[in-house]
Amino acid sequence: MLTGQMPTVPGAPDAPLAEGIEAQTRQVIENLTTVLTGIDLDLSDVVQCRCYLTEFARDSAQFNETYKAYFPQDRLPARTTVGVTALAVGALVEIDCLAKREVVA
């Protein structure tokens, strides 16, 4: 399980967040990719995501389009997306995920 990632820039946690749901979603997924790469996995290993949006009605369609572009289209991970009242650092989106590692016998 990977901890929730925010749309902050690694190494610059106090930098302003990107504007809009598309840019923030891209940053969150890039942050997830960095964490996965650090443990020799990638987005194709993700089996489930939990996504949190602060402006669900306004942002869900654009979020879906941006999110789907990062995963194999024939094998999107299971996903739950919920609207929340607020996220840390004033973010519009947060994503955590569960990834699997293939065991080679």
Give the burial class of 48: count Cβ atoms within 10 A of its Cβ; 0-12 exposed, 13-18 middle, 19 or more buried: middle
- Of the two residues 62 and 103, the one the predictor is more confident about is 62
Domain extent at residue 40: 2-9+18-99
pLDDT tens column, 9-52: 999 988 999 999 999 999 999 999 999 999 999 999 999 999 99
Is residue 79 included in any domain, yes or no?
Answer: yes
pLDDT tens column, 80-99: 999 999 999 999 999 999 99
Q: What is the domain count for the chain?
A: 1
Q: Are strands 93-99 and 78-83 parallel, antiparallel or unpaired?
A: unpaired
**pTM, to two decimals:** 0.93
Say what percent of the chain tops pLDDT 90. 85
pLDDT at 101 over 80: yes
**Mean pLDDT value across the chain:** 94
Is residue 105 included in any domain, yes or no?
Answer: no
Is residue 61 included in any domain, yes or no?
Answer: yes
pLDDT at 62 (0 to 100) = 98
Q: What is the CATH number of the domain that holds 43?
A: 3.30.1330.40
Is residue 31 included in any domain, yes or no?
Answer: yes
